[in-house]
């Protein structure tokens, strides 16, 4: 049995606090690093995660332009 970190992004109604949409962006298995390159997310994983976050933010903002 291991551990994972789950990174989620939620769109929330600020008046009610109700979650409108919940998206799982990444699951990251926690394991013992074997060297300095095994700590955290590698550069590609970081960029992919930031891209997903930015895409979700922009999608939410474009709703106002319709």
Distances (CA, A) of 61 to 11, 47, 56, 65, 66: 11, 21, 9, 7, 10
How does residue 36 score in pLDDT terms, banded at 50, 70 and 90?
Answer: confident
Instruction: Tell me whether strands 19-30 and 3-12 are parallel, antiparallel or unpaired.
Output: antiparallel
Question: So what's the pLDDT on residue 20?
Answer: 95
Segment 36-45 shows an average pLDDT of 91
Check whether 63 has a pLDDT greater than 90: no
Indicate the average pLDDT of the chain.
94
* E strands in 13-66: 19-30
Strand, helix or coil for residue 42? coil
Q: Tokens for 65, please give them.
A: 């332009």
Q: How many residues does the chain have?
A: 66
The mean pLDDT of 25-52, rounded to a whole number, is 93
């Amino acid at each position: 049995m291991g551990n994972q970190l789950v990174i989620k992004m939620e769109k929330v109604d600020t008046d009610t606090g109700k979650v409108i949409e919940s998206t799982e962006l990444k699951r990251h298995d926690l394991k013992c690093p074997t060297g300095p390159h095994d700590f955290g997310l590698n550069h590609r994983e970081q960029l992919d995660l930031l891209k997903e976050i930015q895409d979700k933010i922009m999608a939410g903002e474009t709703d106002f332009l319709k």
